[in-house]
């Protein structure tokens, strides 16, 4: 958890510096773009706490097969390969995200970046 907080702080700080520098150089569009990108990264960083247990129960009910994944599974890493992913219902607070069951864990994957945003043991 501390690692996630630190990572979010670093991302937010870097984007604020980037947007501030862009604004100082008279480029308000770049400043807004940097700020929006930061908001997206932070907002989609994880499954909301109140949805984690219901999401866990959903994945158990769905009973998807676990696949073997050779790369390291870690929040922030890209989920690569031709592995099957499944849509998550919007009610779990991660609209548009997908999940996969890999190495007996389920991972929630960001729809655009394909990065892992959440991991939980099945």
Domain of residue 114 covers: 49-121
The ranges of the chain with pLDDT < 50 are: 1-2, 4-23, 31-44
Same domain for 83 and 100, yes or no, is yes
Same domain for 55 and 115, yes or no, is yes
For residues 15 and 30, is the Cβ–Cβ distance under 8 A?
Answer: no
Using alpha carbons, list the distances in angstroms from residue 108 to 31, 34, 35, 86: 30, 25, 24, 9
Which residue has tokens 């909301």? 48
Tens digits of residue pLDDT in 56-70? 999 999 999 999 999
SS3 98: strand
**CB burial of residue 5 (10 Å; 0-12, 13-18, 19+):** exposed
**How many domains are there within the chain?**
2
Structure tokens at 43: 């907002």
Tens digits of residue pLDDT in 6-21? 444 444 444 444 444 4
Same domain for 79 and 98, yes or no, is yes
CATH number of the domain where residue 113 is located: 3.10.450.160
| Whether the predicted model's global pTM rises above the 0.75 cut | no
Structure tokens at 96: 């548009």
Same domain for 36 and 74, yes or no, is no
Same domain for 55 and 78, yes or no, is yes
Same domain for 55 and 38, yes or no, is no
Same domain for 114 and 60, yes or no, is yes
């Amino acid at each position: 958890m501390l690692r996630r907080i630190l990572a979010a702080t670093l991302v937010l700080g870097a984007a604020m510096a980037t947007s501030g520098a862009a604004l100082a150089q008279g480029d308000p569009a770049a400043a807004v773009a940097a700020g929006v990108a930061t908001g997206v990264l932070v907002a989609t960083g994880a499954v909301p706490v109140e949805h984690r247990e219901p999401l866990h129960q959903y994945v158990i009910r769905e009973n998807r097969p676990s696949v073997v994944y050779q790369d390291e599974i870690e929040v922030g890493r890209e989920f690569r390969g031709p592995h099957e992913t499944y849509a998550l219902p919007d009610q779990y607070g991660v609209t548009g995200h997908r999940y996969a069951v890999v190495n007996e864990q389920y991972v929630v994957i960001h729809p655009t970046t394909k990065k892992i945003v959440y991991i939980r043991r099945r």
